[in-house]
Structure 1
Amino acid sequence: MRAALVAAVEDTLVYDLDGIGRQYAALCAELPGVAVRFAMKSCPVDEVLGHLARLGSGFDAASPQEVAQALRTGVAPGLIHYGNTIKSDRNIAQAYRLGVRDFATDSPEDVAALAQHAPGSRVFCRIATTGEGALWGLSRKFGCSPEDALQVLGAARAAGLVPSGLSLHVGSQQMTAEAWLAAVDSLAAVLEALGRRGIAPDRINLGGGLPALGVLDRRGRPLVPPLDKMFTAIREGMERLRAVSSGPLSFLLEPGRHLVADHGAIRAHVARLTSRRRLDGTRERWLYLSCGKFNGLYEIDQLQYRLEFPTHAGGQFVDAVVAGPTCDSDDAYAREGSPVPVPRAIASGDPVWVHSCGAYATAYTTRGFNGFAPLPYTCVGGRVPGGADA
């Protein structure tokens, strides 16, 4: 990706399609036979979605608008999973008209709406997880208890829907293999209980959660997820679930940041390096960048991005708080006693590369908070193995 970045224009988010393709291929090699449904919310960029579709990926959509965007890639409706358990009647009817027949659910009320507006569809009941070990646990808003899952899928069958499967999510940027082991425990218990009720799901959706590898924690330390152990836990978990199932099982996965985060970078620039004394008498430096929380770096509350200063490879570095350009005090990171090393001689207008920000950088940008517009983006590469360039 390095050569591609050099050619980028100022203040641009660059996606490396070839890098994304390699990540997709590596994931498929680790989990052969598992169907990929890319989590669109992590990178709703047409070029990225189209490249993944050409490689064989399907999509996890959370709204009729995302369904329509997925369809524009040419992917078949059968490869689109409506993974959002929060759906209005209108949402359900629109997605159904667009050809979607796979819906996630977690409540009897949603099941009743699906039966009315998406008759005969296949439903996955989402089971809640604790979210422990993840930077974003996702433990409150989605999913039901294993006990409720039995009632939900029973209600789906009674309403003429197909109780197709179970799903869950171990939390975004999951950092432990143990989360997958606990997830399998929950799924296995529900599968066995469903079997005793004469319900035989044929698919398990293992959700998202696989981490990015190039980001830092809030104190600037590299996050080193045990990816090999995670894949081992998933493979062994699938075998265990097949063993307890009352029928054949296939598996889905909904990766998002794992495929795109490390293959996106922002070429930004320096607004100013300042030094000022705080009320407690200590002196503090601040490095203000042209991008921040509201135009590309929304996740700075939980992590840091690796910065590169291409015109200051040598020289003296000093510690600074890094912040975006807006008049919002939340538009900053490294405020917990772990400032970021930055070149002492850096000046306004100097370029800065912000690495591993390909996930959620475009999805969370505002219309233009404080007048700072969302970053434009460009895509480089895009060769499909055995095919023509994108």
Structure 2
Amino acid sequence: MRAALAVATEDVIVYDLDGIGRQYTALCAELPGFSVRFAMKACPVDEVLGHLAGLGSGFDAASPQEIVQALRTGVAPELIHYGNTVKSDANIDEAYRLGVRDFATDSPEDVAAIAEHAPGSRVFCRVATTGDGALWGLSRKFGCSPEDALRVLDAARAAGLVPSGLSVHVGSQQMTADAWGEAIETLAGVLEALNRHGIVPDRINLGGGLPALGVLDRHGRPLEPPLDKMFAVIREGVERLRAVNAAPLDFLLEPGRHLVADHGAIRAHVARLTSRHRLDGTREDWLYLSCGKFNGLYEMDQLQYRLEFPTRPGGQSVDAVVAGPTCDSDDAYAQEDGLVRVPRTIASGDPVWVHSCGAYAAAYATRGFNGFRPLPYTCVGGSAPDGAAA
């Protein structure tokens, strides 16, 4: 990969398809029997999606446009579900026309719309979680209470839909195994209530949240999520949920960043290393990169990406704030203590590798804020061509 890009003069996102494939295979080995629905929003790159489809993955889509992109991989419509609980009538109608028959929901109003525009479809109700322990909790916009879940699926049954299951999402980049245990206990309680009400789901979707391993926290320290313990809790939870349901259960996952984050990197360049005094008289060094929050590093205010600089013998280093090239003050690592050790000899134009940024690098890029265009990408390994337009 490095040799192929050694003479590159422009920034580029590089996705390692073989690494993504190994991550997928490892996940399936840890959680045998689970069906995977890759969360497309994490990496909407055709070559990545095609590679995962070839390995057996389905897709979690959040819009008709994502459904169309998923179908281009050749995957069957029954391996695509509409996982977004926010859908207009037109969205539902288009998804149904494209062949999707599995819809997430969390409100009676959405159920009524699905019944009208996607009659006879299967619905799974998303149950809210606290999001505690995650870098990005998802506790407000999506999901309903356990009590509402019973009402939502009862309304689905009355409207001629199939109340097929329940789902949760414990928060993006979840860092605790306890979050999975708490979510599973909540689901067990909802399953028992549904069964008493004559509704017997046939699937449980444990959503996303599995973490990336190579990113750093805001202080530059390894995050070190207890992944083995997470898998153990999930495997135990499968048995717990099967024990309380009156019929067999299938299990799904919607991994996103867990599959792609650590297998994507950006080859960027140094814009400038500067030093100046703040108003309080303290001196501060800043390293400006050619890419930042708006074209590849959207999550840089909540975590740090590992940087790799050219190796030069000797020389001193400085602790610098890392920032992107735009005039937006949010285009930077957290500034209170998010300092990075940088070679003092680094010069404008020097290459820099930004590691573990395969999740959301392409998805969150703007069309060109401040004139800094979205980064192109290339894929290495697998059967993908060695270049594509972003």
TM over 0.5: yes
Q: Give a deviation string over 1:45-82, Cα, whole Å, max 9, x none.
A: 00000000000000000000000000000000000010
Asked whether the equivalents of residues 101 and 121 of structure 2 are also in contact (C-alpha less than 8 Å), the reply is: yes
Mapped partners of 2:360, 2:318: distance in 1: 29
Instruction: Summarize the alignment of residues 197-236 of structure 1 with structure 2, pairs less than 5 Å apart.
Output: 197-236=197-236
Question: Residue 249 of structure 1 corresponds to which residue in structure 2?
Answer: 249
Question: Residue 271 of structure 1 corresponds to which residue in structure 2?
Answer: 271
Q: Give a deviation string over 1:194-242, Cα, whole Å, max 9, x none.
A: 0001100000000000000000000101110000000000000001000
Asked whether the equivalents of residues 312 and 346 of structure 1 are also in contact (C-alpha less than 8 Å), the reply is: no
Mapped partners of 1:180, 1:3: distance in 2: 41
Question: Residue 158 of structure 1 corresponds to which residue in structure 2?
Answer: 158
Where 1:301 maps in the other structure, the secondary structure is coil
Q: Which amino acid aligns with 2:349?
A: G
Mapped partners of 1:312, 1:360: distance in 2: 32
Mapped partners of 1:164, 1:352: distance in 2: 48
Q: Which amino acid aligns with 1:29?
A: A
Provide structure 1 residue ranges, at least 5 long, that are not aligned to the other structure. 385-390
> Alpha carbons of 1:78 and 1:305: their partners in 2 closer, same or farther (altered >3 Å)?
same
Shift of 1:6: 4.9
> Alpha carbons of 1:70 and 1:301: their partners in 2 closer, same or farther (altered >3 Å)?
same
> Alpha carbons of 1:334 and 1:317: their partners in 2 closer, same or farther (altered >3 Å)?
farther
Q: Which amino acid aligns with 1:52?
A: L
Q: Give a deviation string over 1:137-159, Cα, whole Å, max 9, x none.
A: 01100000000000000000000
Mapped partners of 2:358, 2:10: distance in 1: 17
Mapped partners of 1:316, 1:72: distance in 2: 51
Shift of 1:89: 0.1
Where 2:287 maps in the other structure, the secondary structure is strand
Are residues 1:40 and 2:40 paired? Answer: yes
Mapped partners of 2:80, 2:40: distance in 1: 10
Shift of 1:2: 5.9
Are residues 1:284 and 2:284 paired? Answer: yes
Mapped partners of 1:71, 1:278: distance in 2: 53
Question: Residue 388 of structure 2 corresponds to which residue in structure 1?
Answer: none
Mapped partners of 1:36, 1:182: distance in 2: 22
Where 1:103 maps in the other structure, the secondary structure is strand
Asked whether the equivalents of residues 137 and 172 of structure 1 are also in contact (C-alpha less than 8 Å), the reply is: yes
Question: Residue 300 of structure 1 corresponds to which residue in structure 2?
Answer: 300
> Alpha carbons of 1:98 and 1:180: their partners in 2 closer, same or farther (altered >3 Å)?
same
Shift of 1:334: 3.8
Asked whether the equivalents of residues 5 and 14 of structure 1 are also in contact (C-alpha less than 8 Å), the reply is: no
Shift of 1:317: 1.1
Q: Give a deviation string over 1:282-341, Cα, whole Å, max 9, x none.
A: 110100000000000000111000000024475321100100000111101141124110
Asked whether the equivalents of residues 8 and 14 of structure 1 are also in contact (C-alpha less than 8 Å), the reply is: no
Asked whether the equivalents of residues 59 and 70 of structure 1 are also in contact (C-alpha less than 8 Å), the reply is: yes
Instruction: Summarize the alignment of residues 107-122 of structure 1 with structure 2, pairs less than 5 Å apart.
Output: 107-122=107-122
Question: Residue 61 of structure 1 corresponds to which residue in structure 2?
Answer: 61
Q: Which amino acid aligns with 2:266?
A: I
Question: Residue 16 of structure 1 corresponds to which residue in structure 2?
Answer: 16
Question: Residue 103 of structure 2 corresponds to which residue in structure 1?
Answer: 103
Question: Residue 387 of structure 2 corresponds to which residue in structure 1?
Answer: none
> Alpha carbons of 1:222 and 1:160: their partners in 2 closer, same or farther (altered >3 Å)?
same
Instruction: Summarize the alignment of residues 141-152 of structure 1 with structure 2, pairs less than 5 Å apart.
Output: 141-152=141-152
How much identity, in percent, do the aligned residues show? 84
Where 2:300 maps in the other structure, the secondary structure is helix
Mapped partners of 2:70, 2:154: distance in 1: 31
Asked whether the equivalents of residues 104 and 126 of structure 2 are also in contact (C-alpha less than 8 Å), the reply is: yes
Moved over 2 A (4+): 1-10, 310-315
Mapped partners of 1:46, 1:161: distance in 2: 32
Mapped partners of 2:9, 2:59: distance in 1: 30
Mapped partners of 2:26, 2:7: distance in 1: 27
Shift of 1:5: 6.0
Mapped partners of 1:15, 1:64: distance in 2: 25
Mapped partners of 2:275, 2:3: distance in 1: 35
Where 1:247 maps in the other structure, the secondary structure is coil
Where 1:275 maps in the other structure, the secondary structure is strand
Where 1:266 maps in the other structure, the secondary structure is strand
Q: Which amino acid aligns with 1:242?
A: R
> Alpha carbons of 1:382 and 1:152: their partners in 2 closer, same or farther (altered >3 Å)?
same
TM superposition score normalised by structure 2: 0.96
Q: Give a deviation string over 1:81-107, Cα, whole Å, max 9, x none.
A: 100000000000000000000000000
Mapped partners of 2:188, 2:212: distance in 1: 28
Asked whether the equivalents of residues 367 and 374 of structure 1 are also in contact (C-alpha less than 8 Å), the reply is: yes
Asked whether the equivalents of residues 218 and 337 of structure 2 are also in contact (C-alpha less than 8 Å), the reply is: no
Question: Residue 179 of structure 1 corresponds to which residue in structure 2?
Answer: 179
Mapped partners of 2:5, 2:190: distance in 1: 48
Where 1:268 maps in the other structure, the secondary structure is strand
Aligned pairs, number: 384
Mapped partners of 2:16, 2:7: distance in 1: 12
Question: Residue 77 of structure 2 corresponds to which residue in structure 1?
Answer: 77
Task: Return 1-10 or 220-229, whichever deviates more.
Answer: 1-10
